[in-house]
Amino acid sequence: MSNKWLDHIPALFDELRPHALRSMRQFAEDEIVSMPQGPREGMPFRCAFMPWSALVLDEFDSGRWRRMFGRGPAQSAKTLLFTVIPTMYHLFECSESVIFGAPTHDMAYDIWNERVLPVVRETRYASLLPRSGAGSRGGKSRAIRLRNGAILRFMGAGGDDSQRSSYTARVAVLTELDHMERGASGDDEAGPADQIEARTTAFDAQAKIYGECTTTTEEGRIYIETTRLGTDTRIHFRCPHCLRWIEPVREGLSGWRGAASIVAAGSSAHYLCQLCQHPWSEADRATAAQSPRLVHRGQSVDESGRVIGPIPETHTLGLVWNAMHSPLRSMATLAEDEWRADQALDESLSKKVFQFNWALPWRTKRNEMDVTYPFLAEHVTDEYTHDPLRALSPGAAPDPLPAGIRFRTGQIDIQKRWLYVSADGWDNDLTDWTLFYTVVPIVPEGVGAEAPTREMIRDALDSALTMLVQTYAVDSVWVDTGYKHEGEQENIVRLWCAEQGDGVNALVGRSQGQMSRMTGERVELAPEIPDMIQCRRQPSGDMLWFLDVDRLKDEVYFRLFRPRGAPGYHYFPLDAANEARTDRSRGPASPGWIFQHYMRAKRIITQHPKTGHEVRIWREVGRQDLWDLAAYALAGAMVTLADLQASENQVPSSPVLDVARASAVDAGGIRTRY
């Protein structure tokens, strides 16, 4: 026999000898030499680009999971990690058949053709693609038989189970999972995704199911698989400042709220570590991403970086991540998306932010969390008690104010027989310390007047102003002048504000849809003051502030959900909550009274009756005047901070705002022009 034939015998036996299977991670890095369309098109797959992807692929190979599902933001490697790589691995490395499921058969084939096949064609496995028959010339087919014997079977959600019941495989890959639940099967059959998964039951515990989808709602299949049935696994990064591990979440993205423009929102964006409150730059974020940990439900990461706690007793790995985990999205663009959604009249952009950026479920008509008593009680601080400067108990020794307070605002809301009054302290990040709240009677006790007189109203306002200016030394006062007392042909509250001079500001609250109906000549404000705050010169020459109270209440609401200690957080006095934090005082002006008002305001997402767009409405039942004052306080703080900063920087003010201060205000030392 010729030696040249003998030379091929070792190679022949080598091919016949069973090969040890590579891990899915090694397979992906060895074989995927050219990524499909996108920012990394043409580049090889490397876990180093997104280090947590290595941990995910290792979990696939760990043997712990029969079912593996991913829920992440748009364009964040969901399809690559949970569809492309598993499909290629089982078809080519394992030479076994795969069921490829999607909402429709055509979509299943299109996803293969557009997302998986281009990757395959750049690998050495291109030679295993069929040269004739189904799948060889681009036509759509039910199945493709590869030249290594493996079969790729396409299945859609449409139709009844008869189209899916005749095929069996160990591996099923499900893409666009939530939309598969909308198949045409009747109520007497299991859902299409369950029917496809049932095609693997002959392999029992050896079956492998992979699935992915962008988050839709809490009723969506991907949310159920990852969070309710699965491990609800989250990706933690190591903060480069405090060296502890945290999960980056939406609430930590800061700097964009209150920005004057979308450009300003992006340029000021940063992330605040929940544990040390240190801001992250993009370089910090990149550093943090180099030390990822996968943390299952009930687990945590200790100081050494070791994940501690038991692994959940489930067969389903459910991975959840968001755009902060993706190097393809900058914090600037995320902040711009938040700012744009915040400015929109309808909530369609908010849905996009929830689902496509943060992988959060959209909860129609109940999207926002209720403000409960235990939740508000978490915001109390032991730094001070209610009325620390003793406006209600003159002569008593005052308590020191929190050290972070830089300036103060006072607010007055006028009703028929009462004034509601509050004072807040602020720092440069608009962190809010609510210091003082009370009611001032307009009609004196024992007086049987059905309606208050002009003198009664003015006396009550003078009393409130004395507490705010002389006791709390506020830098500005903001007075709601929307209520008009019976029988009055002129708004005596606005006249009273004008008499006090600069620093005492008349305002009118408007809903978001009413902000176009403002009277008077527009006054140019500092660029950092958001457009939900407007000022108009009235024909009398007096200034009247118009506030978009719906958006201001949104801002107050969202600040309540910021991490404790983060810039812009809202603190309440210690005695606003009792020790048990289970009930609340109902007495007017008592320390615990404020929580009653906050809980009566409900943020509701509903549909506009004419356009069908999702819109936000505020529904308030009962007295919630202290909640209104919180919106006025935030607006006043934004304006006051801009004015104080302009004074420090010696920026010339608008001439229309340079009004002489009245003697009553001068006595209290109000420092602002507004």
Per-residue model confidence as pLDDT tens digits over 515-531: 667 888 999 998 889 88
- Exposed (0-12), middle (13-18) or buried (19+): which is 169, by Cβ within 10 Å? buried
Q: What is the pLDDT of residues 217-254, one digit of tens each?
A: 888 899 999 998 999 999 999 999 999 999 999 888 98
Query: Given the DSSP bridges, would you call strands 151-156 and 98-102 parallel, antiparallel or unpaired?
Result: parallel
pLDDT for position 666: 44
Domain boundaries, the chain: 30-229, 373-659
Phi, psi of 280 (to 5 degrees): -100, 135
Contact present, 540 and 659 (Cβ < 8 Å): no
608: pLDDT confidence band, cut at 50, 70 and 90?
low
Question: Which of the four CATH numbers 1.20.120, 1.10.8, 3.30.420, 3.40.50 does domain 373-659 have?
Answer: 3.30.420
Q: Do 178 and 222 contact (CB within 8 A), yes or no?
A: yes
Q: What is the largest CA-CA distance in the chain?
A: 126
Average pLDDT over residues 523-546: 90
pLDDT at 142: 87
pLDDT in tens, 446-469: 776 667 888 999 999 999 999 999
Average pLDDT, the chain: 84
User: What whole-number distance in Å separates Cα of residue 621 and Cα of residue 492?
Assistant: 28
Distance from C-alpha of 642 to C-alpha of 208, rounded to nearest angstrom:
59
H or E element at residue 295: strand 293-295
Q: Is the dihedral of CA 147, 150, 155, 161 positive or negative?
A: positive
Give, in order, the Cα–Cα distances in Å from 67 to each of 204, 294, 311.
12, 17, 15
Q: Is the pLDDT of residue 40 over 70?
A: yes
Higher pLDDT, 496 or 346: 496
Which pair of tokens denotes residue 185? Answer: 């099967």
The token pair at 487 is 């029988």
Of all residues in the chain, the percent with pLDDT exceeding 90 is 52
Q: What pLDDT was estimated at residue 75?
A: 84
Question: What is the CB neighbour count within 10 angstroms for residue 123?
Answer: 16
Could you tell me the two tokens for 453?
Answer: 């007189």
**What pLDDT is stored for residue 664 in this prediction?**
38
**What confidence tens digit (pLDDT) does each residue in 612-658 have?**
566 677 777 667 888 899 999 999 999 999 998 888 776 554 433 33
Alpha-carbon distance 633 to 536, whole Å? Answer: 19
Q: Determine the Cα–Cα distance for residues 236 and 239; give it in Å rounded to an integer.
A: 9
316: which strand partners? 67
Which runs of consecutive H residues, i.e. helices, occur in 344-468? 348-352, 373-377, 454-466
Helix 549-560 × helix 625-648 angle, to 10°: 90
CB atoms within 10 A of CB 370: 10
Task: Give the count of beta carbons closer than 10 Å to the beta carbon of residue 10.
Answer: 9
The two domains 30-229 and 373-659 share their CATH topology (first three levels equal): no
Structure tokens at 670: 């109000």
Whether the pLDDT of residue 56 is over 50: the answer is yes
Query: What is the number of alpha carbons within 13 Å of residue 298 lying toward its C-beta?
Result: 8
Summarised one tens digit per residue, pLDDT across range 261-284 is: 899 999 999 998 888 888 999 999
Of 21, 9, 111, nearest in space to 61 by CA:
21
Nearest to 631 by CA among 517, 572, 567, 553: 553
Distance from C-alpha of 561 to C-alpha of 252, rounded to nearest angstrom:
10
Q: What is the pLDDT of residue 131?
A: 84
> Is the alpha carbon torsion for 549, 555, 556, 558 positive or negative?
positive
The answer to whether the beta carbons of residues 248 and 326 sit under 8 Å apart is no
CA–CA separation, 665 and 55 (whole Å)? 63
Of 291, 290, 292, 275, the closest CA to residue 241 belongs to: 275
Question: Concatenated DSSP letters for 563-610?
Answer: PTTSTT-EEEEGGGS-SS-S----STTSTTHHHHHHHTEEEEEEE-TT
Phi and psi, residue 242, nearest 5°: -95, -10
Amino acid letter at 475?
D
Question: Is CATH 3.40.50.970 the classification given to domain 30-229?
Answer: no
Residues 6+ apart with CB under 8 A from 459: none
Of 371, 370, 379, 273, give the one whose Cα is nearest residue 324. 273
Range 135-148 average pLDDT: 80
pLDDT tens, residue by residue, 322-371? 999 999 999 999 999 988 887 775 567 888 898 999 998 876 443 456 67
